[in-house]
């Protein structure tokens, strides 16, 4: 069982609003700048390069302290598991399902997730910054099978992006668009993964 992180295990509700308030900029402008440079960050660009680009787009001076604060908020937010995800993972762990994460995520977030107490039940975690590959590249799914010690037909995968799901299906995974924990439980019961 493979999960994406952002918008699957951890929903983004409120992050961009909090970052915008922290930086004193309008939320729509923050959203555009935050997303514009994320791919390079997810591929391994260091935080100062990412936040320098975001701050430049927002017309903010490159204040190292404010960039560090933005990075801390970003990492803390994305590595905090909500109760619905905790309950789902606990059910899967009790059913002795092998769990893995495959996520486009920068190095700082990857480290925080691995260090989080909730990550204990996961057999493997693969983040884009670890391997310099991002979804929906076919290469990332092939690499994940190597890291997870799986063949494609053994994997059930949840992601919030249609392009990532389609790429995973093309690779041979049983991939599904994330529609919440309750929908995932229904699907897993249909698959005989959960009783």
pLDDT (tens digit per residue) in 108-133:
999 999 999 999 999 999 999 999 99
Task: Answer whether 77's CB lies under 8 Å from 101's CB.
Answer: no
- Interior angle at CA 168, CA 112 and CA 120, nearest 5: 30
How crowded is the C-beta side of 163, counted as CA atoms within 13 Å? 5
Residue 89 near residue 121, CB atoms below 8 Å: yes
Q: What region, left, alpha or beta, does residue 10 occupy, with left being phi > 0 and alpha being psi -120 to 50 degrees?
A: beta
Which residue in this structure is represented by tokens 């925080």?
A: 112
Confidence of residue 158 (pLDDT cuts 50, 70, 90): very high
DSSP-derived secondary structure letter, 159: E
Q: How high is the pLDDT of residue 31?
A: 96
Query: Packing angle between helix 138-148 and helix 162-171, nearest 10 degrees?
Result: 60
Confidence check: pLDDT of 195 > 80:
no
Residue 172 has pLDDT above 80, yes or no: yes
Residues of the chain with pLDDT > 70: what percent? 100
pTM, full prediction: 0.94
Beta bridge partners, 51, equal none
The per-residue pLDDT for 191 is: 85
**Mean local confidence (pLDDT), 76-105:** 95
Instruction: Select from 113, 97, 114 the least CA-distant residue to 156.
Output: 97
Q: For 32-84, how does the pLDDT look when each residue is reduced to its tens digit (9 = 90+)?
A: 999 999 999 999 999 999 999 999 999 999 999 999 999 999 999 999 999 99
10-34: average pLDDT: 95
Residue 154: pLDDT above 90?
Answer: yes
Cis peptide, bond prior to residue 136, ω within 30 of zero: yes
C-alpha pair distances (Å), 97 with each of 117, 123, 165 = 18, 10, 21
Asked if residue 19 has pLDDT above 90, the reply is yes
How sure is the predictor about 192, in pLDDT bands with cuts at 50, 70 and 90? Answer: confident
For the chain, percent of residues with pLDDT exceeding 90: 95
Q: CA dihedral defined by 82, 88, 94, 99, rounded to 10 degrees?
A: -90
Tell me the mean pLDDT in the region 138-159: 97
Over range 99-116, report the average pLDDT: 97
Q: Average pLDDT in the 97-111 region?
A: 97
Q: Are 108 and 102 contacting, i.e. CB atoms less than 8 angstroms apart? A: no
């Amino acid at each position: 069982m493979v999960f994406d992180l952002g918008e699957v295990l951890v929903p983004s509700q409120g992050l961009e609003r909090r970052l915008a308030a922290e930086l004193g900029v309008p939320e729509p402008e923050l959203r555009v700048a935050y997303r514009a440079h994320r791919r390079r960050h997810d591929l391994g660009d260091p935080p100062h390069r990412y936040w320098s680009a975001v701050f430049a787009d927002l017309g903010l001076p490159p204040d190292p302290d404010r960039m560090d604060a933005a990075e801390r908020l970003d990492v803390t937010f994305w590595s905090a598991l909500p109760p619905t995800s905790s309950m789902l993972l606990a059910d899967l762990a009790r059913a002795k399902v092998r769990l893995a994460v495959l996520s486009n995520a920068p190095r700082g977030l990857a480290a925080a997730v691995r260090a989080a107490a909730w990550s204990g039940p996961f057999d493997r975690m693969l983040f884009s910054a670890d391997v310099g590959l991002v979804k929906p590249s076919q290469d990332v799914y092939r690499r994940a099978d190597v890291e997870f010690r799986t063949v494609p037909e053994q994997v059930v995968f949840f992601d919030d992006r249609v392009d990532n799901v389609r790429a995973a299906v093309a690779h041979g995974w049983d991939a599904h668009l994330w529609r919440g924990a309750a929908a995932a439980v229904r699907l897993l019961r249909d698959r005989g993964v959960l009783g």
